[in-house]
Amino acid sequence: MLYFVKTPHIIKRAFPKLTWNIPTKEKVIYLTFDDGPTPEITPWVLSELKKYNAKATFFCIGKNVISHPDIVKEIIKNGSAIGNHTHNHVNGWKKTSRTYLKNIDKAQQIIDSEIKKHQKTILHSTISNLQSPIKNLFRPPYGKIKNSVAKILLGKGYKIIMWDVLSGDFDRSITKEKCLKNVINNTSEGSIVVFHDSIKASGNLKFLLPKILEYFSEKGYLFETIK
């Protein structure tokens, strides 16, 4: 399985309108989780984040949002953000632009509806400055998106969020220790780091996440949502 752990600068320069990292001199890292929510792993992720007052951005699959609305509510209560990861994890290179955009729209309608259902209650029952989790963020599954589709989404006001560091938690051919090194050796101020709150990645993630939260917290880093 071939992939870049650290996104090369040449790729970032080739696609400058996509968001690869958040330029900053502050000690801030942006943890992101793809493919959820899943009852087997997402609640555990939220529990680990809470230990460090950490926020993250969850790129959710529309059909999973339908299946697990209570977990969506917990993501909002955590103060984390929710982004769109298509309705059923579609490869953008293998579908027509029209079909792909419809899939994204379907997921967004579901996500927005579910968030609004819970948001008013949560805002009244928690801190008054809790930010809205609706951010119009989109991450293409597999990182694959046609330029023509990207232009349309950007025109609609979406931010297309890629990544600076890929943990490799989904890769069963590498060790948990290798996944940990992938993140620790490549993450710096403003990095967007990809994990997966999926069953497939859960073995690696349960090893990785507590260690990463502890390591960077001890170095004075904060974990924030993508805005």
* 139/35 Cα distance (integer angstroms): 10
| pLDDT at position 80 | 94
Within a domain: 4: no
Within a domain: 2: no
Within a domain: 131: yes
* Domain tally, the chain: 1
DSSP 101: H
Dig out the tokens for 199 from the structure. Answer: 């069953």
| pLDDT at position 72 | 94
Within a domain: 83: yes
Residues 6+ apart with CB under 8 A from 20: 7, 11, 12, 162, 163, 164, 192
Within a domain: 1: no
| pLDDT at position 124 | 54
Within a domain: 72: yes
Q: What is the CATH number of the domain that holds 122?
A: 3.20.20.370
* 66/207 Cα distance (integer angstroms): 28
Dig out the tokens for 28 from the structure. Answer: 């801030």
| pLDDT at position 117 | 84
Host domain of residue 96: 9-223
* 171/180 Cα distance (integer angstroms): 12
DSSP β-bridge partners for residue 193 = 31, 165
* 143/147 Cα distance (integer angstroms): 12
Could you tell me if 159 and 135 are in contact, meaning their C-beta atoms sit under 8 angstroms apart? yes
What is the torsion angle, in degrees rounded to the nearest 10, for the CA atoms of residue 80, residue 203, residue 93 and residue 183? 70
Question: Could you give the residue numbers annotated as active site?
Answer: 34, 196
Residue by residue, pLDDT tens for the chain (227 residues) are: 789 999 999 999 999 999 999 999 999 999 999 999 999 999 999 999 999 999 999 999 999 999 999 999 999 999 999 999 999 999 999 999 999 999 999 999 999 998 888 776 665 554 434 445 456 999 999 999 999 999 999 999 999 999 999 999 999 999 999 999 999 999 999 999 999 999 999 999 999 999 999 999 999 999 999 98
| pLDDT at position 105 | 97
Within a domain: 208: yes
Within a domain: 200: yes
